[in-house]
Amino acid sequence: MSDNYEVVIGLEVHVELKTASKLFCGCANLFGQDPNTHTCPVCLGMPGALPVLNRDAVALATRAALALSCTVHSFSKFDRKQYFYPDLPKAYQISQYDQPLATHGQVTIRTEAGPRAIGIERIHLEEDAGKLNHIGQRLGDATGSLVDLNRAGVPLIEIVSQPEMHSPEEARLYLTELRTVLSYLDISDLRMEEGSMRCDANVSLRPLSYTGSLADLPRVEIKNVNSFRNVQRGIEHEIIRQRELLEQGIRIVKETRGFDDAAGTTYSQRSKEAANDYRYFPEPDLPPLVLDAVWLEDQKNQMPSLPEELRHQLAAEGVLPRDVDVLVQDRALYGFWRQTVAIYPDVKLVTNWLLSDYSRHMNAKGLSFDNPGVSAPHLAELLALIEDGTLSGKMAKEVLESMFATGESPQVVVKRLGLSQITDHEAIRLIVSQIVEANPAVVADFLGGKEKALAFLVGQVMKATKGQAKPDLVNALLREVIASHV
Amino acid sequence: MLLSKEEVLHVANLARLSVEPSELEEMAGTLSRVLEYIDLLNELDTESVSPTSQVVEQHTVWRSDVIQDSLSAELATQNGPQVVSAMFVVPKILDGGGQ
């Protein structure tokens, strides 16, 4: 990236867990509800309320840790992280500090130079804060805020990477692979725009001559960016900004910066020069969490096949390498592919249709594979109509378009559009005979050895049948009819 | 052990308390006496006691993931000094902080 500096990037990813209830109370864990309709004394931070840990949240967090090759610790505990902010009613967040649920994991990114493992330092469980709705356009101009505590106490896992990424592209690859792995676990909605997945990026430039510890390098944290693309853009901008400062001999200040989507730049939010002092201490309301081997084994047994395994599986089934990645990256797409192939087992044909025409129509309608508009059985049925000769590839594309428009089955569309290939031999033979009689010179050429002359005759027949005849059948019948004329 | 004025200011800042410069010296003295009192604990012989973060001898107290009734928005916000659209109103946030 740079001549004199090495870019050092670490990412902190928060993922909301898809439990029914919150982490420490029985309030429903739901997005998009009326303000303050899902709170209770525990998540409002009322004095005397007692938090009790949600077992399923621990299960989902554990599965995430296992999927990311972490060591899940048999002993972990909860701590209070103390700071004042209006979205935090207790003035502390229950988190895990020095003894987190899991450590030492990894995410393997596939770079152009080959696969590379990015370390995960830790994964811990913590509660989410409430939501602030700022009165005014931006935080800086806000005259005040409205606090909605429905989200307060929603279970989160924080996944902290090692500072081992060296370019914005590597950060993007890490996030993409992380999300893909987590998506197969089905533990979270993983929607950045709804905040169920959030990312903070720590960026610093290490002068190549610097030999000290990375932890001592001044780093800038870019917070709460709302898309993978913007994480990448924010890092790109931050690298340029920091390099310019360094080259002018200006010291980088340790601080938190926000990302301005419209301008593509970062702006200072808060100086961290005075080191954060969260005064963590063990949460006295929650006894430690001890996970025994039987429980861990039970979680392992509930793990689905993960992307890496699926990639090998698909390659073994004959899917091309470039298609393998595309199919696996979107869990819903992969599920749809599986379903279609189970009915119509031509792997190549299904993959080609799915990734080209099918995806194009689906995207054009603003749909996704979670609810794609045309079902897997209908796609399989369409492909079967190509195989049995009812439809040419070209006709099938037209039928698919109509299926997306109307939601009808391929059989219904074919009937409605009067679009089946003429496979009736006698009907085609009649047309072939007419064409042969109308083109004696061309027939003579063919008989004289010009094979290309036949292609012209095939074209004439196709034209006469409006493309509804099967080309190889026309070809065979032409040869037959010409032979009988001689 | 005597706390410095800087340490008193730091603690006051963390607690969002404003302290007049004239009060610093007195606070350093009184706070130091509180700490000294807690220092008494160091006189205990804890040689045979293993370190712990917990005083209750329990672990892994957890519950099933079952939804229970929440409070109504009216009840939840009734202690708020100002409430708009069922939300607590808080003053302008200056430093863009948070976790």
* A269 interface with B at CB cutoff 8 Å: yes
pLDDT in tens, B67-81: 999 999 999 999 999
pLDDT bucket at A422, cuts 50 / 70 / 90: low
Cα of A346 to nearest chain B Cα, Å: 43
**DSSP structure string for A211-261:** -S-GGGS--EEEEEESSHHHHHHHHHHHHHHHHHHHHTTPPPPPEEEEEET
Among A35, A256, A287, beta carbon nearest to B60: A287
Domains of chain B and any CATH numbers: 5-41 (1.10.20)
pLDDT bucket at B95, cuts 50 / 70 / 90: low
pTM over 0.95: no
Cα of B64 to nearest chain A Cα, Å: 6
Domains of chain A and any CATH numbers: 5-296 (no CATH), 308-410 (no CATH), 425-485 (1.10.10.410)
Least confident of A246-255, A294-303, A314-323: A246-255
A37–B73 CB contact, under 8 Å: yes
Q: Which of B88, B89, B94, B95 is the mutation pick for testing A, counting most A CBs within 10 A? A: B88
Among A28, A139, A146, beta carbon nearest to B67: A28
Are A235 and A168 in contact by the 8 Å Cβ rule? The answer is yes
pLDDT in tens, A60-95: 999 999 999 999 999 999 999 998 889 999 999 999
A28–B70 CB contact, under 8 Å: yes
How far from A86 is each of A94, A170, A268, A285, CA to CA, in Å?
16, 35, 20, 22
Interface of A with B in 9-38 (CB under 8 A): 19-21, 25-28, 34-38
Residue type for position A120: I
Interface of A with B in 199-238 (CB under 8 A): none
A21–B10 CB contact, under 8 Å: no
